[in-house]
Structure 1
Amino acid sequence: MSVPCFLSSAARSFGLPCPVAGLLCSRLLVPSPITRRNMSSKRQMDHLERTASNSRQNAVYPAQVCGMINESETVKHLRIAVHPDFSFKAGQWVDLFIPGVEKVGGFSMCSSPGLLQQEGVIELAVKYTKHPPAHWIHTTCAVGSRVAMRVGGDFFFDPSPSDPSVDLLLVAGGVGINPLYSILLHTRDLLQLNRTSGGRDYNIGSAHLCYSAKNTHELLFKSSIIEACREFPDNFSCDFHVTQQSTDVDLHLQPFINRGRITEEELRAHVDPQRTLCYLCGPPPMIEAISKTLMDFGLPKDRIVFEKWW
């Protein structure tokens, strides 16, 4: 893929260095022990402070918004064209640098590395808040807007063909679905690759998604998730939870919808201490409660990896 002319000009407008070699190439399958952050401070830390201890690539790449839709009443879904050297692992986030906005945004990719390889784009789904980067996306950003991005994060799923099979348990709250959706899409891509190659490449087990939101309108990507479950019924399953819905649920969603929060019984049914690898992303209280529950079930601490949505 050739480098679009806007990319080099965007780099100059940001005063950014050209993309550099030597990007981080460490691979995480069984994650490092969970690092718990101190949440006692009354001042909310910004994205760069919260993630200061996380791995980051060295290069900052110019990029350009090439598509926007409303994923829900509160969430904007962006397609962003990126530099040919840009790369990420399913589950990672970007530092988002916006012209004229002092604060740096931090948003998880909600697309797969496969989409990047095929089309040269990534996708972000950003909920409306008054935090300057999210506010800019909802009020100012348009197709053609130029930004810059740097990949970071130790929360990802990137198996090699030689890795043993694991069963994924993905637990999401609200917009915490974003990195888990990326992981789900990447797992689907690997299964599709296995299908075309005779099943001798990646050792993919099962993946179960527990996803909780206020109502069905806020369940992002639900149609695509259901489609993946139907494409690979022996590998994928999902349970959607709605916590504040008083209206009836659409008929096509009813088989997947549970009213109320994710239960211990549901989690227990998908935990095998020898095989399960769990990824959690959502509000901090949810993450801490579910992490404790999983460890009570015997899931080792080093097989639970989380990203807190603040």
Structure 2
Amino acid sequence: MADKHRISFEPVDLEMEVGEDEKILDAAFRQGIHLMHGCREGQCSACKSYVLDGEIQMERYSTFACNDAEVEEGYVLLCRAHAFSDCTIELLNFDEEELLNSAPLQEIRTEVLEIVEHTHDIVGLKLKPDADYRFKAGQYADLTIPGTAEHRSFSMATTPSTTDHVEFVIKKYPGGRFSSLLEEGIAVGDTIELTGPYGTFTLKNGHVLPLVLMAGGAGMAPVLALLRHLAETGDPRRIRFYYGARTATDLFYLDEIRALGARLPDFGFVVALSESDAGADGLGVDIESGMVTAVAEAREPELHRSEVYLCGPPPMVDAALELAARQGVPGDQVFYDKFTTSVPQA
């Protein structure tokens, strides 16, 4: 049995136990402590922290997330870190509201209810959980690849008020272990194991700033969850949603977004098409040509006065983060999910 150690977190006066065989972030989830995190694969730096005292070693990680000089200074990625002594760790990025008030991690069985083709490379998947599943709008879950011990992470498009199913929006990649099974291999009635919830791409209680939402591709899922929740609660804030796609054939959920917008007092939806706007006439939405970040920048001169939510492929999120920095948006007003893939991309 692996040795166990105590982890003390500063400046939040919080302690927990961790085994040498488990990552510190996983141990936190197990004990109901919701540390800031993103990819959980050592690629995004959301869980980067500083070791004040103790012995910690990391599994393989990206030096873009934590470079060699930072590691020498004592910085670690908690999603890759194992403790080999009692440790004191300074959290550099944390939300006191989330730390002990997030939904607990659950492992449940689900039944496939529906698989639907939204576009040529975006699939919708609805699962029926066999137990009460608690989460917050905007979070994600791990789905186990049937017949294996591997999993893939996908954002949920549903809100907690929907108790009979959990909905995912999944991008298909050639050679993708999970997404390829949605074409042939996973069928209605099959069982899929789900672990979650994860993620901090959630609306914060009591916040009143206007919202600017930006998404691309399957990044639609958590933003749609936020919109559904905002409509359910009758949120009075100014809300603007910018969605980036290549062409009109890559668009989906337009009818529901219009319906949700009709329930919100100050909502605007703009689609940015980066390659062609052919076929966009008659869709009933505001269409502009160009990259979604350029369109949002032109339309949001007061971006620094908003809370900004970003979700999609890494290049889009990186460009949006650069935009937010240029416009002087404070770091605590920016929330993002940067989708990664297990399939090597050209």
- Contact 1:268 1:297 survives alignment (8 Å): no
SS of the equivalent of 2:220 reads: helix
User: How well do the aligned residues superpose, as a CA RMSD in angstroms?
Assistant: 3.2
Aligned-pair distance for 1:34? 5.3
Deviations 1:274-304 (A, max 9, x none): 7511111112122122112112212101211
1:183 aligns to what? 226
2:172 is aligned with 1:133: no
Gaps of 5+ in 1: 1-21, 42-48, 192-202
Contact kept in structure 2, 1:242 and 1:258, CA below 8 Å: yes
- State the AA in 2 paired with 1:262: V
1:239 is aligned to 2:239: no
Q: Map 1:265-280; keep pairs closer than 5 Å.
A: 266-267=296-297, 269-270=299-300, 272=302, 275-280=305-310
Give the superposition deviation at 1:252: 3.3
Rate the CA distance shift 1:23–1:111 in 2: closer, same or farther, 3 A.
farther
Residue number in structure 1 paired with 2:146: 99
1:222 is the counterpart of 2:266: no
* Structure (1/2) with the larger helix percentage: 1
Question: Comparing 240-249 with 285-294, which one deviates more in the overlay?
Answer: 240-249
After TM superposition, give the deviation of residue 210 of structure 1 in Å: 0.7
Q: TM-score under structure 1 normalisation?
A: 0.73
Which has the higher relative contact order, 1 or 2, with Cα contacts under 8 A spaced 6 or more apart? 1
Residues 210 and 27 (structure 1), Cα distance of their counterparts in 2 relative to 1, 3 Å cut = farther
Given that 2:248 and 2:277 are in contact with CA atoms closer than 8 Å, whether structure 1 keeps it comes out as: no
Higher Cα Rg, which structure: 2
Q: Of 290, 303, 309, which aligns to 2:333?
A: 303
Identify the residue that residue 257 of structure 1 maps to in structure 2. 287
Supply the distance in 1 between the matched residues of 2:196 and 2:312 (Cα, whole angstroms): 20
Question: What's the % identity of the aligned pairs?
Answer: 21
Q: Which of 319, 341, 346 is matched with 1:289 structurally? A: 319
Question: Partner residue of 2:132?
Answer: 85
Distance 2:250 2:155 in 1: 17
In structure 2, give the amino acid aligned to 1:230. A
Aligned to 1:166: 209
Question: Could you tell me whether the CA contact under 8 Å between 2:272 and 2:288 is conserved in 1?
Answer: yes
| Aligned equivalent of 1:69 | 116
Q: Cα distance, 1:165 vs. partner? A: 1.5
The number of equivalent residue pairs is 261
2:197 aligns with one of 152, 175, 178: 152
CA pair 260-273 structure 1, distance change in 2 beyond 3 A: closer
Aligned partner of 1:256: which letter? D
Equivalent AA in structure 1 for residue 117 of structure 2 = N
Change (3 A) 1:263 1:288: closer
Deviations 1:84-113 (CA, angstroms, capped at 9, x unpaired) = 321111111111013313421111011222
